[in-house]
């Protein structure tokens, strides 16, 4: 029988794409001859650097793939390959159209069930159903089950840690200190630990540990540059290395401290322990980093803030919740980080 070839589609966001990596590892373990083509935005391609028999197909939504006509062009480019199945891991308008195109041409296509009604029940103000939802990675896995490619996470293995490339040497000094990554930013304010409190965490931890600051964008870089200059053992990597090198560096951390954001997922994919800080979102939404125990997550007191999670994305801030994240004491974060470093 000819080796199967699957088409996977997930256009954004970085963290959601990163969550597909453990699933793909298990697919390759289960089906050794499998070929995969993954369609997404170009900047996420380093997430898949470990895979062989893997084709990354970059989209061009500002050019030839723009609009409905552009999606038809994308389909025309992809349909030249006789895929065994098409997995829509995104379930948005763009992927709905591609789903329809492939279906009309006789391809086997399945789409993710995002559990939108369950998420609505979890995040609404009245009659909230506060219970854990199916993790996103299991929702991804269910798409492949429906395509006829069931998998088990019991087969998951982390890749071997590679030596740090020479290009990263200027960023750190070799020492006996343990390495901590800190990613203090998130897409929405409801998921971002107040920076003045995070500075207290950094001020304490950098005394006996080497700290690497992760982020993106010029505005973030400016703040992180201030911290780098203020503390001897703090290194800001923003703007200095690309995503590939960031992933290489993450694999050598002893701990990552992250918001409910992409950096936590990317670090978890390397096998690193990840301490996540949750503000107006919550691990019950199904977006915890891979293979991280629930006690690696610090959440706010729901007896004080019962509307948490207020949304899946952290973009809805009810009255009286603007400063909710300030109720998480920096001392609590520091103590938890030190505890995880000793495990």
pLDDT tens, position by position, for the chain (343 residues)? 589 999 999 999 999 999 999 999 999 999 999 999 999 999 999 999 999 999 999 999 999 999 999 999 999 999 999 999 999 999 999 999 999 999 999 999 999 999 999 999 999 999 999 999 999 999 999 999 999 999 999 999 999 988 887 777 777 766 789 999 999 999 999 999 999 999 999 999 999 999 999 998 888 999 999 999 999 999 999 999 999 999 999 999 999 999 999 999 999 999 999 999 999 999 999 999 999 999 999 999 999 999 999 999 999 999 999 999 999 999 999 999 999 999 8
Phi, psi of 291 (to 5 degrees): 65, 25
Alpha carbons 299 and 121: distance in angstroms, whole number: 19
Alpha carbons 122 and 267: distance in angstroms, whole number: 27
pLDDT of residue 1: 52
Neighbours of 335 (CB within 10 A): 11
Nearest to 119 by CA among 262, 297, 287: 287
Q: Cα separations (Å) of 76 from 82, 98, 102, 103, 303?
A: 12, 10, 10, 13, 54
Residues whose CB falls within 8 Å of the CB of residue 103, separated by 6 or more in sequence, listed in order: 109
Q: pTM of the predicted model, to two decimals? A: 0.96
Q: Cα separations (Å) of 101 from 57, 95, 307?
A: 18, 10, 41
Cβ atoms of 159 and 50 within 8 Å: the answer is yes
* Tokens representing residue 184 in the block: 């203090």
Q: How many CA atoms lie within 13 A of 289 on its CB side?
A: 29
pLDDT of residue 219: 86
Domains of the chain: 5-149 (3.40.50.2000), 174-341 (3.40.50.2000)
pLDDT of residue 179: 95
Task: Report the side by side order of strands in the sheet with 209-213.
Answer: 234-236, 209-213, 178-183, 255-259, 274-277, 297-298
Q: Which residues of 262-279 are buried (b: 16+ CB within 10 A; e: fewer)?
A: bbbbbbbbbebbbbbbbb
């Amino acid at each position: 029988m000819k080796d199967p070839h699957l088409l996977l589609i997930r256009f954004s966001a970085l963290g959601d794409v990163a969550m597909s990596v453990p699933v793909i590892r298990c697919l390759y373990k289960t089906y050794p001859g499998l070929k995969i083509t993954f369609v997404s935005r170009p900047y996420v391609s380093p997430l898949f650097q470990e895979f062989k028999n893997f084709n990354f197909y970059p989209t061009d939504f500002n050019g030839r793939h723009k609009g409905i006509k552009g999606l038809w062009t994308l389909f025309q480019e992809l349909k030249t390959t006789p895929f065994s199945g098409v997995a829509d891991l995104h379930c948005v308008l763009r992927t709905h159209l591609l789903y329809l195109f492939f279906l009309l041409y006789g391809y086997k296509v399945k789409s993710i069930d995002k559990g939108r009604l369950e998420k609505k029940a979890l995040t609404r103000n009245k009659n909230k159903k506060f219970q854990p939802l199916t993790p996103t990675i299991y929702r991804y896995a269910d798409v492949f089950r429906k395509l006829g490619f069931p998998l088990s996470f019991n087969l998951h293995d982390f890749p071997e840690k590679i030596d740090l490339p020479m290009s990263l040497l200027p960023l750190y000094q070799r020492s006996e200190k343990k390495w901590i990554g800190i990613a203090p930013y998130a897409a929405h304010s409801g998921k971002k630990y107040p920076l003045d409190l995070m500075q207290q965490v950094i001020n304490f931890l950098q005394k006996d540990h080497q700290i690497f600051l992760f982020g993106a964008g010029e505005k973030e870089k400016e703040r992180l540059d201030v911290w780098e200059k203020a503390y001897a053992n703090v290194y800001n990597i923003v703007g200095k290395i690309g995503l590939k090198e960031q992933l290489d560096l993450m694999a050598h951390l002893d701990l990552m401290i992250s918001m409910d954001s992409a950096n936590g997922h990317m670090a978890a994919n390397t096998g690193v322990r990840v301490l996540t800080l949750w503000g107006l979102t919550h691990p019950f939404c199904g977006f915890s980093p891979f293979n991280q125990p629930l006690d690696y997550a610090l959440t706010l007191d729901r007896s004080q803030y019962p509307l948490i999670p207020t949304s899946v994305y952290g973009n809805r801030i009810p009255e009286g919740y603007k400063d909710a994240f300030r109720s998480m004491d920096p001392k609590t974060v520091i103590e938890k980080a030190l505890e995880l470093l000793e495990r």
